Amino acid sequence: MNKNHRNLFVGLDTPVPLLNGSSRTYINLDNAASTPSMAAVKKAVDDFLPYYSSVHRGTGFKSQVSTYAYDQSRHSVLDFISANERNYTCIFGKNTTEAINLLAHRFPFSAARNVVLISGMEHHSNDLPWRGVARVVHAGTTPDGRLDEADFDTQLERYADRLALVAITGASNVTGLLNPVHRLAEKAHRVGAQIALDAAQLAPHRKIEMLDLDDPAHLDYVSISAHKMYAPFGTGALVARKDVFAKGEPIYRGGGEVELVTLDQVVWSQPPERDEAGSPNTVGAVALAAAILQLEQVGLAQVAAHEAELTAYALTRINRLAGITVYGDANPGSAAERLGVIPINVAGISHYLAAAILGYEFGIGVRNGCFCAHPYLLHLMGVQEEQSQLVRQQIISHDRRFVPGMLRISFGLYNTVEEIDALVEGLDCIVRGKYRGKYSQDMASGEFLPKGWHVRYEDFYQT
């Protein structure tokens, strides 16, 4: 196992306080939510800030440097996913959620083609935006959480004449299971539809290839988030077909996206400027480009191999613990065929409480809950409709104590087997009821807090 990757990151040796009064180096196993910053990202931002200025149309030297940096960052994104600049454009925004919403409102639906086919494993960000603009059809998932491709084919044929778009995740943020995106692309194109890939989870871990438009397996749209790619400076990108975004009107209107404005006429700019109203997040774009460069220097194949080794080791150890349920693919032997995302539950222990114990007593950060993929998670857990209705009423009544959920363990490039050993030690203590704290649950949030816990967060950070 190559541990040298740890020196590529910022803040990995930061100590955090524990419930027993001691401190411990923080262990972050919540990378599927957000990743720490790469050192190269910090350096790139530090190097750029002295030149930070307005971009485009500025005549000052700093404006010209900023414009160069911003435009080069756009090229870096396109190169990263092998998108040729003849056919594709890179539109910067806040994150994947905004990118998909942008696509949803700019996609050329018609009265004849107004159906979007998605899967039952989607993050809400690749589901809810489509519900507001088209008819959404869900392809089913198997009991272990994989795309039911037979059902996908059935829905594809059922709506073939009306299907405008297939919107699919590259990798589940709940189970880490991968989708055969290029095979699905071929199927979508065969019936005259296009395909949009939510690559928020996929991009930091696997190589993405847009391919040329004349390739039946090409991808029409790809969205990514920098905060999941070791660049936490608030940006994301939509890589989209130029021929689509050269038409129509932007959803945000303002400066920076027009060629001409009169009292009765507007001439919009060509993509990508047409959909980037206002002053852009230049620092975020620089940060994303720096993260991309560092990932490419490590090599996405090396990233995948490292995380597969971690995943296989973690599953082997977790499977030996009594009282632990692993959802999705629990086979260590297939770790290379999925991402390092492992959802679990501890028998008899609320996911809220288990996550709190790991955090307060072991200094381990994990995610718990439904991971913004409620239908998928309830499917995996086998929650029946009657129970689901009861939970809905409780949530409406501001009582989240009994909301079904899981613990999610997710790996990044820097994680180690020693950190997994610490996680297993914590899980073993939870399983055996050997944790120390006394906890009380907040009804509105469902979260557990240790009784008597007091910490001055201002001692750790002040604005």
Q: Rounded to the nearest 5°, which phi and psi values hold at 275? A: -115, 25
Q: Which of 453, 455, 434, 432 is nearest to 442 (CA)?
A: 453
C-alpha distances in Å from residue 453, one per residue of 7, 21, 166, 217, 434: 33, 10, 48, 55, 19
Tokens of 52: 């930070």
Longest Cα–Cα distance of the chain, Å, equals 73
Which is the catalytic residue, given 90, 370, 372, 429? 372
Q: Give one DSSP letter per residue of 87-154, joined into a string.
A: TEEEEEESSHHHHHHHHHHHS---SS--EEEEETT--GGGTHHHHTTSEEEEEPB-TTS-B-HHHHHH
Tokens of 422: 């610490």
Q: At what angle do helices 181-190 and 149-158 cross, to 10 degrees?
A: 20
Q: Which secondary-structure segment (H or E) carries 291?
A: helix 282-298
| Dist CA 392 CA 398 (whole Å) | 10
Buried-exposed string 153-191: b where 16+ CB fall within 10 A, e elsewhere: eebbeebeebbbbbbbbbbbbbbbbbbebbebbebbbeb
List Cβ neighbours of 252 (8 Å cut-off, separation of 6 or more): 275, 277, 278
| Dist CA 449 CA 442 (whole Å) | 8
Tokens of 215: 């390739």
Annotation says 90 is catalytic: no
Q: Which residues are designated catalytic?
A: 372
